Structure 1
């Protein structure tokens, strides 16, 4: 395998607690409480358009309104996360290992470009990636595999040459539909939930990818 493709939220950075806080604050701003059960049911793993339809069930949001509301929430998220931003444990060393061994890399996130730029620049990770894809680069959100297929195309690799790192059941479905070998990160969902939707392996963070495991992972024979 010659390419490693990463989701961002929950994979590169464990943003989920701060997204939860931002959504709860945002819902309250518009007079609607967001319980933990509601977060799991209506927010976790969902695209902003889907979440906003739940927040405003009686409104038909235009595309412009939807984008403005989503941008407002994401700006709130960045403000809340700025003091605490940090990579998932072991990620910088793992990215350096990928770079040293010539493995191509990409990010495929459903987040807006502002969030992607925020994370890449705050953590100085931009030099480690060959391709960066955000929600604006595709027409169909996960679980559709479009973003991962596009990443493979831009990297010049086949699905059998690709490893995708994902943290949500929605993302795992997209990665599997793209035909890649999929490693789930148990930052958002349980290992059991990730395996149930098709994760080939599950790790808690990148410290578990020892040099031996790395060698095994990226020396797998390519199927034809």
Structure 2
């Protein structure tokens, strides 16, 4: 392994419970309930444009309208999550171990840049990553592999030299399509669900040995 590439939501920080709260409140404000099953099916790992299209089903949204609606929800999420933000257990130590080993690192998230900046700054992790990619730096969202392919290109590594950390099924499909080895982080899905689709499954980064991934 020469490079480790991380999704953000559910991998760097377990944001999904707070995204659920924010999306439910946003859906409710717009007259539509959001169940746990619908969160996993329509929200988790998906691009905001697809999510707001589900919320406003039957309406034709322009790109500008979709971004505006998504930005409203993301501002609500940051407000709700700010007092609670912590990294996934063991992540800071694992990132330090990667740096000591000379392994390149990147973030590839479908989230907007405002959320990426929010998480990096609140957790003090920006200096641990060589490349940071967000939704507006790619033309095709996950499950398309573009964001991971671009991360590998910018890091100067091949898929065979890369490991991608993901928590959602959509993200894992993107990682698989990019040709890298996939580590499933069991925050959004169970260990058993991830074992069917990932090469390695972890609950968090506590005690994760680099040799397990090399």
Q: TM-score, normalised by structure 1?
A: 0.93
1:202 paired residue number:
201
- Would the aligned equivalents of 1:169 and 1:193 in 2 still touch at CA under 8 Å? no
Q: Deviations over 1:115-159 (max 9, x none)?
A: 000000111101000000001111111111110010000000011
Q: Deviations over 1:65-91 (max 9, x none)?
A: 111000000000000000000000000
1:40 paired residue number:
40
Q: Deviations over 1:190-217 (max 9, x none)?
A: 12222323x10000000140xxx31242
- Structure 1 runs (4+) deviating above 3 angstroms are none
1:157 paired residue number:
157
SS at match of 1:206: coil
2:134 paired residue number:
134
CA–CA distance in 2 between the matches of 1:159 and 1:36? 34
1:222 paired residue number:
none
Unaligned runs of 5+ in 2: none
CA–CA distance in 2 between the matches of 1:26 and 1:182? 32
CA–CA distance in 2 between the matches of 1:34 and 1:128? 35
Shift of 1:38: 2.3
CA–CA distance in 2 between the matches of 1:84 and 1:123? 11
Shift of 1:39: 1.9
- Would the aligned equivalents of 2:7 and 2:166 in 1 still touch at CA under 8 Å? yes
1:221 paired residue number:
none
Q: TM-score, normalised by structure 2?
A: 0.97
Q: Deviations over 1:159-183 (max 9, x none)?
A: 1110110001111111111111110
- Would the aligned equivalents of 2:45 and 2:110 in 1 still touch at CA under 8 Å? no
RMSD between aligned alpha carbons? 1.0
Number of residue equivalences: 214
